[in-house]
Structure 1
């Protein structure tokens, strides 16, 4: 007899036939029956909990295939530049000043989510402005894309960055026309400071628990963590799962924000490979960065930016370097992936994947491309031929859509092209890239369906998909991207009881109001881990 049954609902199975049924039964951590309410009600025993869905949608637990668990949690400990009251630099400076007053001298003051296009001044803060707040506290303000930051003089001193410090490969320490440091650190110059802005282990555990609670409340049952700050935070994340602080299942990419090559090499040397672990925490793909941020903008493009005919973005590696590093990981048993936003970067990653598969053939390798931003038709065709799993970010259009039109022009019609992926038979799994944008899957599903910005501007509507297709990108396709489609991602007998119940019907919702639905209940492993109210 089942432990719990759900009756009279809109059960979206996301199985091969996309069946919609009324009811399911769960025993332990598995789904044991699916059917009509009448059929499932016959299984009810004296100890069975019966939940009447009253027409609400019940779906497989959402899988976010690209986010940053620790980064999101850490941000919750700092100052949010996305808070509703932030309308200008002065608003940010006020909050930074208040935080500095609470902390002893020498402690970092951290702000996140900054976007120069969303504030009155339409510019970055300067080092001098931050110095006027404090010269005793190191201050860092991180852009929403998490690829650029601005710091004060105290932070530059701690980081040992001086006027003559050379730019790191793949990044820039910005200077003004007089050669003075502006405080802005771009791409690898930003990533290299992550260790210096480290948190204590106690703070990390707290941050991870906060992040997990938010994700679970949004119906997320599994995540693909896209990279930790360093190897130590990788360890802490694993420990947080084992001691129950983190409820979501984790597929952890092997990638450190600073010196990802060294971290990857150490994991290969330790004998790690994709798939090591269990249903709660498992080693995922080996990942490198190839270019920058789509909203920065710093992505590597084949044609210059529409907004700047001299700008083609930033590349982190040569083709030979990328082939060697990811090729070795593939050879040693890793699924391989890379952050690639611009079409030039995507082409390089596809070249790398093709070379790796030719040199060391492996059936069902499922190489990935994180983001796959500007995926022109020739690149989509190559992805299909190579069996690549792209990980697009539909929610980016809502927050950054106007900037995409400004910087890339007509290329927005090929940005995160879910329609082209589906029609080419490509299994594309969606991710939020949280904290870069809103982590709520319902928010991403709405953006995939309507591709509208916050201001209502349509951004490449030729790539819209149906509600069921968008749901699949956040469920079964996510399971496929981590080799777990036999265990989760759809509501089928013998699969894990990872489920989400909404407060209404998603199939009857206005496509422009899907994000207005809320999560009523989240279940992981047959256990209710979140219930509204």
Structure 2
């Protein structure tokens, strides 16, 4: 804005003063600049890790099942996984850094009732695989057993992993297994992990008959005449046969 100023000698001079609109633009631009700087500073700080683990094997369980060297954490969030160089770039003077020295870091195991070691043992190569979906019903189970018996000599154990599956209306007992494997002791665990089924030959080896008492906390299931049906409910009863079966031995609730 340009104004006229009258001098004492009645002459006039021109002078300029800042326009209010220009002043507001300048102030606004300055504020925006300060805000952007503050946001950028916050973003940089937010990308820094509180904690890093490096020089290890970080199991990601991602789609490619990658194993990385290091992981960066901020608060309760994993910022990144990657190489030592990549992850150490996310650290500052306040970051706690832990050298894993080649050790392994795994994701949290959130299933509170997962028998991890026993699950892994099911893949022992000496077991006959009867796990679902190899078996989905009684007919499947008996067919798998019949085929397997053809590869064995009489007296060799049929020791199977956990476990076979049945339809809701089906049961399987010693006599069913005897029909396809009369000369080979068999120890088969159900997918529930709560009972096993064995055949007559296995009962003989374990010296189980109608006079055998139920072990504490378990049952030897019997027919109406008191004869064992081959169904052994829970570990103490299962162990009577399982301790003879290759790959098993005694099990407990521990």
TM-score of the superposed pair, with normalisation by structure 1: 0.29
Counterpart secondary structure, 2:203: helix
Q: Secondary structure at the match of 2:161?
A: strand
Residue 169 to residue 3, structure 1, CA distance change in 2 (3 Å): closer
Deviations 1:353-406 (A, max 9, x none): xxxxxxxxxxxxxxxxxxxxxxxxxxxxxxxxxxxxxxxxxxxxxxxxxxxxxx
Other-structure match for 1:151: 198
Question: Retained in 2: the 8 A contact 1:93–1:133?
Answer: yes
Q: Structure 1: 5+ residue runs without aligned partners? A: 38-58, 200-228, 231-255, 259-288, 290-338, 340-533
For structure 2, the residue ranges without an aligned partner over 5 or more in a row are: 1-53, 59-67, 92-103
Q: After TM superposition, give the deviation of residue 138 of structure 1 in Å.
A: 0.4
2:123 aligned partner: 73
User: Structure 1 residue 34 and structure 2 residue 88: aligned?
Assistant: yes
The answer on whether the counterparts of 2:163 and 2:193 sit within 8 Å (CA) in structure 1 is no
Aligned residue runs from structure 1 range 451-466, under 5 A: none
Q: 2-side partners of 1:180 and 1:85: how far apart? A: 30
RMSD: 3.8
Cα distance 1:82–1:198, how it changes in 2: closer, same or farther (>3 A)? closer
The 1-side partners of 2:55 and 2:251 are apart by 43
- Structure-1 residue corresponding to 2:251: 257
SS for the counterpart of 1:96 is helix
Higher relative contact order, structure no. (Cα contacts within 8 Å, ≥ 6 residues apart): 1
Deviation string, structure 1 residues 147-199 (Cα, Å, up to 9, x no partner): 31011100000010011111111111110122121100111101332220134
Which protein has the bigger helix share? 1
Is 1:110 the counterpart of 2:159? The answer is yes
The CA distance in 1 between the partners of 2:131 and 2:159, in whole Å, is: 13
Confirm or deny that 1:21 pairs with 2:15: no
Partner of 1:61: 106
| 8 Å contact kept, 2:174–2:199 | yes
- Distance across 1 between alignment mates of 2:123 and 2:175: 29
For residue 119 of structure 1, the aligned residue among 140, 143, 166 is 166
1:80-128: per-residue Cα shift (whole Å, max 9, x none)? 333435332111111111111101111111233345xx53363331111
Residue 101 of structure 2: aligned partner: none
For residues 20 and 135 of structure 1, the distance between their equivalents in structure 2, rounded to whole angstroms, comes to 57
TM-score normalised to structure 2 length:
0.56
Instruction: Please name the residue that 1:311 is paired with.
Output: none
Between the aligned partners of 1:145 and 1:178, the Cα distance in structure 2 is 27
SS in 2 for 1:94: helix
Aligned-partner SS, 1:128 = helix
Cα distance in structure 1, aligned partners of 2:81 and 2:161: 43
Deviation at 1:24, TM superposition (A): 4.9
**CA radius of gyration, larger in:** 2
